[in-house]
Amino acid sequence: MSRKPKKGYYVRGEFIAEGSELDLELKAELKGTHEASRTDLKRESTELQKLGEELLTLRPELMARLDLSEKLRDALAEAKRITNFEGKRRQMQFVGKLMRLIEPDALAAVRAALQEQHKGSAQGTLALHKAEQWRDRLITQDEAFGDWVQQYPGTDTQQLRALIRQARKDALPVDKAAASQGLAPRQGRAYRDIFQWVRAQLAGGGDIPDSPPLPPGEGGGEG
């Protein structure tokens, strides 16, 4: 009787019998490649869905510059309207699928727009922080007035002095019990007005000057 032929396949002209050691090695290698591919695809999908979520916060003027399909724009608009958690999750999965259809150049433009918005937000935060520093120095340090006028010689000094005087007058002393709890003194309207005035002056004066640090215990509060 003729021997029953072995089941197998050829790789580069070499016969690989099913169940052989070489067959098992090749299948393990192939499975690993497929697993890696699935991992890469999942990672890419997660990243694109995250980009889609960030697009929900993109400013309209930046969004208008992007080359996005009408279908994706509609999907993003719908995602903004949905308040139900599960509904929004499914919608964002749909957005992620549409994001995978974006051309590489358009995708790069999306990332650039998001980076531009983030940079602008960081600059805005820095501007607010510097305005807070100047406000607190002007209220608590007599020499800060001269520093400000030196950097901004066009300042309405009369208005600024009046704001500072009123802010100091409005500030209520902190009793020992409140101080022990870390409570800051209450501030009147002039305290808020001087912040808005300083912020407006800084915004209209080009580059925001660096304000020297406050002495210990005199850090800025929120505007």
Confidence class for position 223, pLDDT limits 50, 70, 90: very low
Domain boundary pick from 102, 118, 139: 102
What are the angstrom distances between the C-alpha of 84 and each of 72, 76, 81, 90, 91?
Answer: 20, 15, 9, 10, 10
**Between residues 7 and 120, the one the model is more confident about:** 7
**Between residues 55 and 24, the one the model is more confident about:** 55
Residue 187 has pLDDT above 60, yes or no: yes
- For residue 32, the model assigns a pLDDT of 60
**Between residues 35 and 52, the one the model is more confident about:** 52
Domain boundary pick from 52, 69, 102: 102
| 105-157 tens-digit pLDDT | 888 888 888 888 877 656 666 777 788 888 888 888 888 888 888 887 877 88
Do 25 and 88 sit in the same domain of this protein? yes
Residue 149 lies in a domain: yes
**CB-count exposure of residue 167 (10 Å: 0-12, 13-18, 19+):** buried
Do 18 and 96 sit in the same domain of this protein? yes
| Domain count within the chain | 2
Do 17 and 87 sit in the same domain of this protein? yes
Q: Which of 1-10, 147-156, 183-192 has the highest mean pLDDT?
A: 147-156
**Between residues 88 and 32, the one the model is more confident about:** 88
Do 15 and 96 sit in the same domain of this protein? yes
Do 36 and 88 sit in the same domain of this protein? yes
Supply φ then ψ for residue 137, to 5 degrees.
Answer: -70, -45
CATH number at residue 176: 1.10.60.30
- For residue 173, the model assigns a pLDDT of 57
Do 91 and 133 sit in the same domain of this protein? no
Residue 213 lies in a domain: no
Residues spanned by the domain of 71: 11-102
Q: Average pLDDT, stretch 197-212?
A: 60
